Structure 1
Amino acid sequence: MRTRTTVAAATLAALLLTGCSDSNTHDKPKTEPKPTHTVSKQDRFLSAVHDADFASWADKGPTDDELLDYPAQWCEALHSGHSVDYIFSGGGAGLYPIGMEWGTKREDANEVLLLAVTAYCPKYRSQVAQDLRASGAY
């Protein structure tokens, strides 16, 4: 009886050490899928604007909320076939980035528009760049 117990214990120990799979299957450790970190278009835009550090906003600039009012409207105007001049003109869309207590130089406004289009509606970026080049502003 002792021999059977010893053999059974040795067999059990061997199975525990080598695993219970046959030699044809190789259990690979399962890796957890890595979470993908997606950055929102709002965060991409605001980050780019903050990095740009516009001179015309040195004393007083827009809040993030004020800035976030523009990109969707700019993209909609571009989608409707309008030019940069139309978008910024008071007689056109009237979407020049300006507030009650802050203003934006035109070259900075052009850059803000490019940053917004890059984040929100990148399919119009080349059109905006072309408009700005044609006007000598890019």
Structure 2
Amino acid sequence: MRFGTLLLIGTLAFSAVACGSGSDAKPSASPSATDNSDKFLDEVHAEHFDSWAETAPTDGEILMLPPEWCLELKDGHSVEYLLGESAAAYPNGPEWGTARPDANRLLVLGVTNYCPEYRDQVTKELRETGQY
């Protein structure tokens, strides 16, 4: 092969590696959102949620919850509204579910990382009902 051809092949190979395959690439987000999601997922993975022993949610499913909780809290809703018996914001999916004690812990982790200004409110409500 000629040097030019080898150089072209090498450049293309380097470009492919540098760009990545896309499977490990994270979606573009603001640094704080990425930091929050990474820290939140690290904390969730470090927890032991008994209700996820057999089937657990994906990271993507987990990451969808805190922003929704924060919006609901901002609108003045309570923990019971978020996680009550028929709440739409309850952490469950078609193949997995979360027991209420685990959901409470997950909510505290989510609020702590995404909207810490509501953490005291959430923990107070949970304590008042004997759930934290």
- 1:77 aligns to what? 72
Correspondence 1:64 to 2:50: no
Q: Normalising by structure 2, report the TM-score.
A: 0.72
One-letter identity of the residue aligned with 2:90: Y
Correspondence 1:104 to 2:98: yes
Q: Higher helix proportion, which one? A: 2
Q: Deviations over 1:11-37 (max 9, x none)?
A: xxxxxxxxxxxxxxxxxxxxxxxxxx9
Q: Normalising by structure 1, report the TM-score.
A: 0.69
Percent identity (aligned): 50
Partner Cα separation in structure 2 for residue 47 and residue 53 of structure 1: 12
Q: 2:42 aligns with which of 38, 47, 71?
A: 47
How far 1:135 moved relative to its partner? 1.1
Unaligned runs of 5+ in 1: 1-36
Q: How many residues align?
A: 101
How far 1:90 moved relative to its partner? 5.3
Larger gyration radius, structure 1 or structure 2:
1
Change in Cα spacing, 1:103 to 1:114, as seen in structure 2 (3 Å) is: same
Unaligned runs of 5+ in 2: 1-30
* Superposition RMSD in Å: 1.6
Q: Which runs of 4+ in 1 moved over 3 A?
A: none
